[in-house]
């Protein structure tokens, strides 16, 4: 079949591009021809975003003492951006013209495709992401997420538009309980819950072609994986640096720079597993950073934010790694003593992969 994926494949971060690639790989393994289509604004949806109240993020204040770091990061992040663009072109084929005018199936997902209260997106609210897709005969979802959206806060006019769009979807798959509730309340359907494509895919063969020179890395390294400069709270920074000093670890930023860390490491997405495996400890506050840690890192800790509490705590519970969440009474030092059960992880991921492949086979 000719299948299109509607996702966040153009967002330049590790999780977004790898989840897009992972879903593409799963569908292609079942014999389908797979392409991506871009998110587009729908004229009839444009005014619905105006009812949402914008919440300002706290301003990050960066001291001048980090000036040299910022200069270094500016040049290094240009390398990271190029690696993202190269990945999108080579592995997602985003800029390849398509001859297909009508697809047999559109798969919406994974990632935060249902996060309709995220008004910072360049698309605003678009009912396309909720099933209003005119270029496919059939529409399903896979591991869709509402992110921080709570159905109780969605304006009624937007709810009605989503309900109408949802009626076009023939099968629902979500990745967390918050999104399960969202779909269930609006449709009466109990969607399948499936893991993110990054969790249920193995990218080791792809990594063989882009091996990182591990000898260039510090012998004892703590990787910090977060959105750009998001770890900015002075107490958190002090806590992390004290931990690194105590265990003689060099902090290294991956994915995006952090102003208080001198070394930022540009990586090809397929090199994540190699660097996370090499690190003695990982600190992350993101959904996909937690996935990378769960799969590849020997030891890791998770900071949970109000903005990602729904999806990140759901993931921690689902993967049975709540003990890795930094909280009062659960310090970085105590978390560093935890040990992973590699066999239990592998068995769980295999079972969930089989479940995901079965869902796709039965609904395409």
Domains of the chain: 2-56+96-200+351-363 (3.40.50), 66-87+209-349 (3.40.50)
Average pLDDT, the chain: 92
CA–CA dist 3, 182 (Å, integer)? 26
Q: Which two tokens stand for residue 196?
A: 């993110």
Q: Which whole number is the average pLDDT over 314-340?
A: 96
CA dihedral 60, 256, 297, 294 (to 10 degrees): 70
Report the pLDDT value the prediction gives residue 48, as an integer from 0 to 100: 74
Q: Please tell me which residue, 197 or 40, carries the higher pLDDT value.
A: 197
Q: Retrieve residue 54's tokens.
A: 């914008």
Average pLDDT over residues 311-323: 97
The pTM score is 0.93
What pLDDT was estimated at residue 69? Answer: 85
Three-state DSSP class for residue 241 = helix
Q: Per-residue pLDDT tens for 210-267?
A: 999 998 899 999 999 999 999 999 999 999 999 999 999 999 999 999 999 999 999 9
206 pLDDT exceeds 80?
Answer: yes
How much is the average pLDDT of 178-188? 97
What is the torsional sign of CA 204, 207, 213, 214?
negative
Other CB atoms within a 10 A radius of the CB of residue 348 amount to: 17
pLDDT for 64: 65
Supply the pLDDT for residue 74. Answer: 87
């Amino acid at each position: 079949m000719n299948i299109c994926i509607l996702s966040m494949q153009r967002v330049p971060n590790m999780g977004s591009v790898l989840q897009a690639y992972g879903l593409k790989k799963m569908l292609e393994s079942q014999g389908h021809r797979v392409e991506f289509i871009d998110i587009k604004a729908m004229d009839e949806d444009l005014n619905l975003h105006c009812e949402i109240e914008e919440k300002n993020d706290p301003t990050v204040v960066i001291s001048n003492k980090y000036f040299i770091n910022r200069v270094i990061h500016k040049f290094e992040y240009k390398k990271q951006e190029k690696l993202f663009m190269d990945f999108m072109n080579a592995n997602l084929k985003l800029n390849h013209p398509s001859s297909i005018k009508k697809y047999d199936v559109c798969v919406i997902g994974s990632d935060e495709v249902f996060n309709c209260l995220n008004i910072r997106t360049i698309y605003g609210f678009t009912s396309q992401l909720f099933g209003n897709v005119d270029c496919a005969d059939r529409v399903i979802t896979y591991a869709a997420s509402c992110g921080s959206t709570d159905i109780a806060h969605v304006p009624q006019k937007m709810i009605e538009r989503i309900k109408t769009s949802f009626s076009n979807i023939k099968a629902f798959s979500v990745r967390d309980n918050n999104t399960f509730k969202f779909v269930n309340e609006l449709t009466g359907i109990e969607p399948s819950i499936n893991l993110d494509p990054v969790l249920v895919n193995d990218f080791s063969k792809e990594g063989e072609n882009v091996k990182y020179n591990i000898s260039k890395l510090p012998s004892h390294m703590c990787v910090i994986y977060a959105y750009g400069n998001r770890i900015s709270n002075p107490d958190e920074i002090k806590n992390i640096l004290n931990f690194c000093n105590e265990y003689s670890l060099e902090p290294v930023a991956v994915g995006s720079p952090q102003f208080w860390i001198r070394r930022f490491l540009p990586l090809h997405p397929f090199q994540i597993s190699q660097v996370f495996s090499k690190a003695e400890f990982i600190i992350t506050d993101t959904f996909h950073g937690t996935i990378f840690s769960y799969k590849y890192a020997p030891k890791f800790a998770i900071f949970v934010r109000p903005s990602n509490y729904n999806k990140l705590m759901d993931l921690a519970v689902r993967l049975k790694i709540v003990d890795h969440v930094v909280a009062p009474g659960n310090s970085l030092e105590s978390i560093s003593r935890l040990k992973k059960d590699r066999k239990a992880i592998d068995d769980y991921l295999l079972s969930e992969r089989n479940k995901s492949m079965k869902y796709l086979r039965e609904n395409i």
